[in-house]
Structure 1
Amino acid sequence: MRRKWAATLIVSCFTLVSPVSSSMIAPALESISADFRITKTVEAQLTLSIFVLAYAIGPLFLGPLSEIYGRVIVLQLANAFYFAWNLGCGFAQNKGQLMAFRFLSGLGGSAPLAIGGGVLSDTFFPEQRGKAISIYSLAPLLGPAIGPIAGGFIAENTTWRWCFWSTSIFTAMVQAFGIFFLQETYAPKLLAWKRDKLRKETGNMELHTEYDDLNKTLLNTLKIAMQRPFRLLGTQPIVIVLACYMAYLYGLMYLMLSTFPGLWSGRYGESTGIGSLNFISMGLGFFLGTQICAPLNDAIYRRLKKMNNGVGKPEFRVPIMVPGSILVPVGLFWYGWSAQAKVHWIVPNIGAAIFCAGTIISFQCIQTYLVDSYTRYAASAIAAATVLRSLAGFGFPLFAPAMFADFDYGWGNSVLGFIAIAMGVPAPFLLWKYGETLRSKSKFAAGG
């Protein structure tokens, strides 16, 4: 069990690195714009969000590569690729170089998002998986909240380039821990190693594993795995609904991240460094949501499994989605109208914390439900959700400044909150009622 948790913690650290990078430059956008003479707001936002666009592409080929070569080697090499281009961002001489380097570093940084869910699926039984996924899910959400706090003080006291150099130093440390402590978890790879060892010892070349397939070449695997997430998105109602809702939440999170610094510097008159401290409220919301959700998720699953004669179902993950889907719009209304009224700074921060708690609760439930429902194809199900949510994370910040200019914070966030109600509140009830029926008709889902 100790080795399982070591793998979880290291994968979570890998998963923390790139989201920190994705948002760390948010408070430094003014400095970057001044240095590179960026005059359009959309272009400035693009330097922030183009990193997340790469998240939509990377998992499509990194996931399949992990099924051929194993999880660990792909994680390590992708992290090294991220490290090289992230370091390059710190030396960029114009906006074109910065955007290109940001995109390439995002490709490498997307590996933990593509492979991490698979590592946990390999490692834990369903009744243990909730806590593990809660830790793993916290990293990509806590990262964007931590990054701007450091980024704000860096931008205020030194050059924005240290936003990239500091994350590169952290990456090198995580890489070193990964080399020594992260072990392979992918069963076909482990059995292939055992097969090769026995062939060498016995000289019997007829030995094979249950996963051996002569047709399993890299090209075939890439072809199947690139098609499968889109087949799941096109044919599986469960994946369509949950991936769309997850994408919406992720888009909202990056929209809030990109507009947060402007609220505190523009409306509240705070300095870049002090304004960045408000991101603590987002981090606190993510942390509290995780601490409440993780034990409850597994406890409810165990209790419902016991009541169901010891037979577990993915639908037993659904009850905890209900409070999550309610907290998201409540947080948006609270944050938006208090920011517009310019009341005491603590009030919009409370709203942001409520929104973030609802987001992490919903995220964890969706991820765990998808892993439980599509155990064998967990990587493809997560990849399908990752593609959509990354496109939303890229696109939402681009229209945010124009939306808040027209509607202000009150009605702007209210519109987003009403859409969150329409998408999020019915989802858990529909899954509870129809989830098992939909899975039984699917050739990809567990029980199908």
Structure 2
Amino acid sequence: MSSILSDMEKTQISHLEQVEPVQISPEHHDYLMMRHGTIELDPLPSADPKDPLNWPQWKKNYEIILIAFGTFSSTFMSAGLAPAYAAMAEEYGVSLATASYYTSAKLAVYGVLPLFWVPLMNTYGRRPFLLLGTLACVALNIGGGFAKTYGQQMALRVLVAAFMSTVTAAGSSVVGDLAFSHERGTKNGWWSLGYVIGTPSGPFFTGFIQYHVGTKWIFFVFAIMNFFQFVFFIFSTETVYVRSDPYYKSNGVMKMLGLRKYATKNFSWKDFFRPLKQAANFNVTISVIAASVTFAYANISLIVEMPQVMVSYFNLNAQQLSLQYISIMVGSVIGEASGFLSDWWMKLSIKRRNGKRVIYDRLWLSYFGYFLVIIGLIIWGVYLFKAKIDHWNIKPLIGAAIAAVGNNVVATVITTFAIDNVPEKAADVGLYINCVRSLFGFIGPFYFPIMFDNLNLAGSSGLMCGLVLIFGGFATALAHVIGLRRKI
């Protein structure tokens, strides 16, 4: 599950070549030279040691690693229930497809709640929300181990997602607080990889837990992970800092809760809906459609349907099922190379155009990603359709790995293209894409079982490939052609 926000930040300012010198006081100049060895920094830090940009490198890395572990945990816990679907379906008296809604419900929350958390954290500080979120998840996950009904468990899963979304919402913002423009790509790579790897890693590890000690301990392991997050966040430091006015108000209840309010930061209810304004941008909307369709069919369908298909076909136990997710893990890691390839391709294109940068050139790489998704889904569906009952073979997993590579390529390239259109609204674009993509992924498990039952695996994979081709490949080509005619 490639992070849209992470891809956004990795590419947001990767094309800045130089920083114009600015006029600063001699004292400010001397401090920056002593601390950083240069004044050509973007953004330019203040002369205040409390400015997060002036923190020691180890302290910055500590904060970013915490976010990386948090984003890993969020997707780890969302997909980590997959090996327990069968046991939970039997315990709660529901179908296997209904049990899979535990994962899809979390996706819906992860898509919507960041729109709520980000404006609040930007205004009142991030650390209190991160502490509250992780501590609440400790209690909620412990409660999950003792839930007696499907409804109780669903309520707990939704609440866990609501509080976990504080950390998924904070990733790009924390890196923006701590890193200079020339290092944000690397720093965001830490937590973006955690977000991507968490999806297949969850069911991989929890399969062993389910097989040896049962479902209850999956929730207890989740609670232990959240507890460690909470302890580590206790030793963290608030990263929100306003250089134009570093003084903030904090008294009464706000002080007790660790909240702060900067005089220069005015909260508005409109901030909750501002990212959705990007829907008016044609290129951004095309990117949202392409990213959402690819994510749903090259990631969610594989993750959620793996237990229902592989268990019924090959009679796998929870531990054996967990091993199937290695294919998606490998594909996701390989797909992360698309960020480097995307930047390399743009440099080559700029050179070929004699120094002219055309953002539409980046889209050429996305077609390679769509191709891999289509090929991977065909291999996955056709070979599962041809598989003999109780005769496991690796061919469908090879298809899953190829589709995972393509999904990451498309996500990185198409998100970068969206940011290139409105770089000054990068955060809003990222939240908009993440919201729509997650919500589209949320509805998938509701119709996936019906689709597979009526069209079989081969027919379903063909339908998904057609949707990726039309709403991904063709839609991208439309934006590509229109853009090149307008720009060149």
TM range (shorter): 0.7 to 0.9
Give the aligned CA root-mean-square deviation in angstroms: 3.0
State how far apart, in whole Å, the 2-side matches of 1:436 and 1:377 are: 22
Contact (CA 8 Å) 2:67, 2:171: kept in 1 or not? yes
| Counterparts of 2:330 and 2:393, CA distance in 1 | 16
In 1, Cα distance between equivalents of 2:177 and 2:349: 23
1:70 and 1:249, CA in 2 relative to 1: closer, same or farther beyond 3 A? farther
Range 166-175 or range 425-434, more displaced: 425-434
Q: Are residues 438 and 268 of structure 1, via their aligned partners in 2, closer, same or farther at CA, if it must alter by over 3 Å?
A: farther
Q: Which moved more, 1:308-317 or 1:141-150?
A: 308-317
Q: What is the identity, as a one-letter code, of the residue corresponding to 2:246? A: K
Distance 1:76 1:427 in 2: 42
Residue 157 of structure 2 corresponds to 102
Does 2:112 align with 1:57? yes
Q: Secondary structure at the match of 1:345?
A: coil
Deviations 1:6-36 (A, max 9, x none): 5544322211111111111111111112222
Q: Which is greater in Rg?
A: 2
> Which of residues 389, 396, 415 is equivalent to 1:367?
415
Residue of structure 2 in register with 1:340 after alignment:
385
Which of 450, 466, 474 is matched with 1:402 structurally? 450
Moved more, 94-103 or 131-140: 131-140
Amino acid in the other structure paired with 2:405: A
Alignment correspondent of 1:289: 335
Q: How far did 1:285 drift?
A: 0.4
Q: Does 1:10 align with 2:66?
A: yes
- Structure 1: gaps (5+ residues): 198-210, 440-448
Offset of residue 268 of structure 1: 1.7
Pair 309,68 (structure 1): closer, same or farther in 2 beyond 3 Å: farther
Change (3 A) 1:158 1:424: same
Shift of 1:273: 1.0
How far apart in 1 are the matches of 2:348 and 2:237?
Answer: 33
The residue number in structure 2 matching 1:355 is 403
Are the equivalent residues in 1 in contact too, given 2:287–2:476 (CA < 8 A)?
no
Say which of 185, 190, 212 aligns to 1:157: 212
Give the distance between the partners of 1:313 and 1:2, measured in 2 at CA: 38
- 1:70 and 1:437 map into 2 onto residues whose CA distance is 45
Matched, 1:322 2:367: yes
- What aligned pairs does 1:95-244 form with structure 2 within 5 A after superposition? 95-121=150-176, 129-180=184-235, 184=239, 186=240, 189-191=241-243, 194-195=246-247, 213=264, 216-218=265-267, 220=268, 223-233=269-279, 235-244=280-289
* CA separation of 1:190 and 1:372: change in aligned 2, threshold 3 A: farther
> What is the TM-score of this pair, normalised by structure 1?
0.82
Deviation at 1:317, TM superposition (A): 4.3
How far off is 1:172 after superposition?
2.4
Q: Partner of 1:37 in structure 2?
A: 93
Equivalent position amino acid for 1:147 in 2: G
Give me the whole-angstrom Cα distance separating, in 1, the residues matched to 2:194 and 2:285: 24
Gaps of 5+ in 2: 1-56, 250-261
- Over 3 Å counting, the alpha-carbon distance change for 1:196 and 1:144 in structure 2 is closer
Q: Per the alignment, do residues 75 and 381 of structure 1 end up closer, same or farther by CA in structure 2, a change over 3 Å counting?
A: farther
Alpha-carbon contact 1:117-1:371 (below 8 Å) kept: no
Shift of 1:277: 0.4
Per the alignment, in what secondary structure is the counterpart of residue 320 of structure 1? helix
Q: How many residues align?
A: 415
Residue among 314, 320, 331 paired with 1:274:
320
> Measured at CA, do residues 283 and 45 of structure 1 come closer, stay the same or move farther in structure 2, by a change above 3 Å?
same
Deviates more, 1:127-136 or 1:410-419: 127-136
Could you tell me which residue of structure 2 aligns to residue 75 of structure 1?
A: 130
Native 8 Å contact 1:336 1:348 kept in 2: yes
How far did 1:353 drift? Answer: 0.1
The question of 1:23 aligning with 2:23 is answered: no
Aligned 8 A contact 1:305 1:313 in 2: yes
Residues 91 and 305 of structure 1: CA distance in aligned 2, closer, same or farther (over 3 Å) = farther
Question: Which is helix-richer, 1 or 2?
Answer: 1
What's the CA shift string for 1:298-351, capped at 9, x where partnerless?
333444456667776654643432211211111101110011111752110100
Contact between 2:134 and 2:229, CA under 8 Å: does it hold in 1?
A: no
* Whole-Å separation in 2 of the counterparts to 1:7 and 1:29: 35
Q: Once structures 1 and 2 are overlaid, which stretch shifts more, 73-82 or 149-158? A: 73-82
Deviations for 1:97-128, whole angstroms, at most 9, x for unmatched residues?
Answer: 11011001111122333232333455556675
CA distance in 1, matches of 2:356, 2:140: 47
Identity of aligned residues (%): 25
CA contact (8 A) 2:294 2:472 kept: no
| CA shift for structure 1 position 174 | 3.4
CA pair 362-395 structure 1, distance change in 2 beyond 3 A: same
Counterpart of 2:7 in structure 1 is: none
Decide whether aligned partners of structure 1 residues 432 and 11 sit closer, same or farther in structure 2, where only a CA change above 3 A counts: farther
Change (3 A) 1:276 1:12: same
| CA distance in 1: counterparts of 2:133 and 2:364, whole angstroms | 36
Shift of 1:43: 2.8
Query: What amino acid does structure 2 have at the position aligned with 1:412?
Result: S
Opposite residue 24 of structure 1, the aligned amino acid is G
**1:10 is matched by which residue type in structure 2?**
L
Q: CA separation of 1:246/1:224 partners in 2, compared to 1, >3 Å: closer, same or farther?
A: same
Secondary structure of the 1:420 match is helix
What is the rounded CA distance, in whole Å, between the counterparts of 1:74 and 1:434 in structure 2?
44
- Helix, strand or coil for the counterpart of 1:15? helix
Output the amino acid matched with 1:49. Answer: S
Distance 1:368 1:133, change over 3 A: farther
The one-letter code matched in structure 1 to 2:83 is P
In structure 1, the partner of 2:435 is 387
- 1:202 equivalent in structure 2: none
Return the offset for 1:76: 3.7
Q: CA 1:160–1:331 in structure 2 vs 1: closer, same or farther (change >3 Å)? A: same
SS at match of 1:332: helix
